[in-house]
Structure 1
Amino acid sequence: MPHLALYTFGVLKSPLADPGPLTREFYDRGEAVYRTIGQQPGYLAHAEPAEAGRGVLFDADWGVWGEFAVPAWYEKGRTPETTALAATLSLWTDLRPAFDAVYGGLHRAALNRRFDWFEKTGHPSHVAWWVSDGAIPTWQDGVSRLTHLHDHDSAPHAFTFHDAFTPEGTAIRINREPS
């Protein structure tokens, strides 16, 4: 049975290494959100580095998730002191559990604060696609699918929760209320 891959990407207003209160708040909420999402029904896994300090993304060892990659339009730093982005790559049993995790609970509360932390870029902030059972999506997969979504809109190859597709490629609408 196919699984859902989900890649998110956002450009932060300040670098991850910024000691300011907004960056600290973003980190604190993010840690709580990850703990909660990791316990959600339908959650399988997410990319995390083997070892890395705060802001170390580009040089981290991501194992089977591949080398860390970002969209070509990201123009901020790539060092631990200058990196100003938040990206996730996760794997889910199905579309509904991923939707519920993103638009419910602690993550929903964090989404309500996104404009405090993230710049408006004119690019999509997430993309989903189906992978075969046992396949692990890579960071480069996420970047290429997000780019495809930006350039061509939702399609079975790369879609959003709003304009989603089944594993067979049929367009579907998700009931916008979390289950």
Structure 2
Amino acid sequence: MSSSKYHLAQVNIGRILAPLDDPLMAGFVARLDEINALADGTPGFVWRLQTEEGNATDLRPYDDDRILVNMSVWESLEDLKAYVYKSAHAEVMRQRRQWFEKFEGMYMALWWVKAGHIPTVAEAKRRLEYLSEHGPSAHAFTFKQPFPPPDVAPENFSVTLFDPCPAA
């Protein structure tokens, strides 16, 4: 359990190679329920963007309807890193190029939110845009250049070294 009064929000976007009902996307679609359930049961998980059906693939907040958005909130940076890089999610990330184009520009942003705050898609888009325009800062950052929660002094903030993205 995190002792911080802040939780970590994340957004990542990706442009799928084909519509979700295309046979090319079958492997991705087949793993959605499993990977979403894994997130829901992972220590430190707080919330994820989802429809009543339990995933976010029907949400299209960008003009390009092939851009999917994923958002979640975690108790800590370490909790999110464990899920992304040390669980079955990493296997799906390694297969990413089967289903997603190489994205030009920033596709992932992290930021701290007060515990209990659920970020909106509009908020997430703004953080992603800010990161793209200004680079990592306390306002929006990456796994590679993390910033501490507002209630933790930088000298008291320690994270494990960055593990390269399995999709790289």
Q: Which residue of 2 aligns with 1:48?
A: 50
Q: Which residue of 1 aligns with 2:161?
A: 175
Name structure 2 gaps, 5 residues minimum.
164-168
Distance 2:56 2:119 in 1: 23
TM-score by length of 1: 0.78
Are residue 13 (structure 1) and residue 17 (structure 2) matched?
Answer: yes
Give the one of 91, 107, 122 matched to 2:73. Answer: 91
Q: Which residue of 1 aligns with 2:41?
A: 39
Give the one of 71, 76, 81 matched to 2:64. Answer: 76
SS of corresponding position for 2:73: strand
Q: Which residue of 1 aligns with 2:107?
A: 125
Distance 1:7 1:142 in 2: 6
Aligned residue pairs total 156
CA RMSD, aligned part only? Answer: 2.4
Alignment-mate amino acid for residue 76 of structure 1: D
SS of corresponding position for 1:131: strand
The 8 Å contact of residues 108 and 142 in structure 2, kept in 1 or not, is answered as yes
Alignment-mate amino acid for residue 64 of structure 2: K
Are residue 151 (structure 1) and residue 133 (structure 2) matched?
Answer: yes
The alpha carbon displacement at 1:30 in A equals 2.2
Q: Which residue of 2 aligns with 1:107?
A: 89
Percent identity, aligned pairs only, is: 28
Name structure 1 gaps, 5 residues minimum.
59-68, 78-83
Alignment-mate amino acid for residue 164 of structure 1: P
Change (3 A) 1:144 1:129: same
TM-score by length of 2: 0.82
SS of corresponding position for 2:41: coil
Distance 2:79 2:55 in 1: 30
Distance 1:17 1:55 in 2: 11
